[in-house]
């Protein structure tokens, strides 16, 4: 009798803790009516949650996704969740975007520049996590290629539209795991050695350095850039992580109890995209909708500039 009572008690405590955490979630920003937002990887996880919330706030949301069929299905589900508004406002648009292909990134941006008169927010959200060694269409190590280089090219190609739409915002989703990464300029493509955990951390450190250097370059333009970590979230990002079969029930219980839901994890992205509290704030790093301190290696401006210069060559912006 003692064991069931202990399990029940622990379950009630966890449920109460989860309820309190949800109740403490910051409120959404004001209306986003008339604003256009691009979210990469918006068909699942954090991106899907952010798309639903920003649509609820009446934004025009462009879902940039690799798998068009899955994205269209997610869009239908989001529309059903949010509901049609009698007063109009809010629109969900699906566009194909494969960040592992520079050709796809260029085609996506070309269409956006042709069809969209403004771009108020760009959320660089999509990512790949601890995959086996593989290369993008252009020959880049997959995690560095998707998480950093794909977004680097995407952002640069859309900068003109963002400037013309100022005040506008760029939001870069990074990770606390940046702390375990190093920028090794001698082996950015991991051809000498590959460690899937280290390479993920390196790509997330690159995200922060990119946001920092971009913020410096955009001073005075009315375009702000901030990076964030969402916390540990229950998403399909960890699909490449192998968990022993016998450990899966325990892992599922722990993740339900202590990991954030996608909506909870997306709160900082939504906050940076919409809140008047961060109007004009740029070059900062956030977690749980608050500014946080970075390790010195994520504030190294010389490394950030060198990474920018090399990235320009890698994606073909400079010869």
**Active-site residue numbers?**
200
How far is the CA of 304 from the CAs of 120, 176, 215, 254, 301, in angstroms? 25, 18, 11, 37, 5
Q: Is 56 within 8 Å of 37 (Cβ atoms)?
A: no
Q: What are phi and psi of 88, to 5 degrees?
A: 75, -170
Q: What are phi and psi of 249, to 5 degrees?
A: -60, -40
The Cα–Cα gap between 216 and 283 comes to 7
The Cα–Cα gap between 217 and 304 comes to 12
The Cα–Cα gap between 7 and 29 comes to 39
Q: Is 121 within 8 Å of 60 (Cβ atoms)?
A: no
């Amino acid at each position: 009798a003692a064991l069931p009572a202990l399990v029940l008690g622990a379950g009630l405590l966890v449920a109460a803790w989860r309820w309190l955490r949800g109740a403490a979630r910051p409120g959404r920003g004001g209306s986003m009516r008339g604003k256009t937002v691009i979210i990469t990887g918006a068909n699942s996880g954090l991106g899907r949650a952010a798309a639903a919330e920003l649509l609820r706030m009446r934004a025009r949301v462009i879902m940039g996704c690799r798998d068009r069929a899955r994205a269209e299905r997610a869009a239908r589900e989001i529309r059903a969740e949010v509901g049609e508004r009698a007063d109009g406002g809010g629109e969900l648009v699906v566009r194909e975007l494969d960040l592992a292909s520079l050709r796809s990134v260029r085609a996506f941006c070309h269409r956006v520049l042709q069809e969209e008169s403004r771009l108020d927010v760009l959320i660089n959200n999509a990512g790949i996590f601890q995959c086996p060694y593989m290369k993008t269409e252009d020959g880049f190590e997959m995690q560095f290629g998707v998480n950093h280089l794909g977004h680097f090219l995407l952002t640069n190609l859309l900068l003109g539209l963002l400037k013309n739409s100022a005040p506008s915002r760029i939001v870069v989703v990074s990770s606390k795991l940046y702390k375990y990464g190093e920028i090794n300029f001698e082996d950015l493509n991991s051809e000498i050695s590959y460690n899937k955990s280290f390479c993920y951390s390196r790509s997330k450190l690159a995200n922060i350095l990119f946001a920092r250097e971009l913020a410096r370059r955009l001073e005075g333009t009315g375009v702000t850039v901030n990076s964030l970590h969402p916390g540990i979230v229950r998403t399909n990002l960890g699909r490449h992580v192998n968990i022993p079969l016998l450990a899966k029930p325990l892992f599922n219980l722990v993740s339900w109890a202590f990991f954030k839901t996608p909506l909870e994890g997306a709160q900082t992205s939504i906050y940076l995209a919409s809140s008047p509290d961060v109007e004009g704030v740029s070059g900062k790093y956030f977690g749980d909708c608050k500014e946080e301190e970075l390790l010195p290696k994520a504030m190294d401006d010389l490394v950030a500039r060198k990474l920018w210069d090399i990235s320009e060559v890698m994606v073909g912006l400079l010869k």
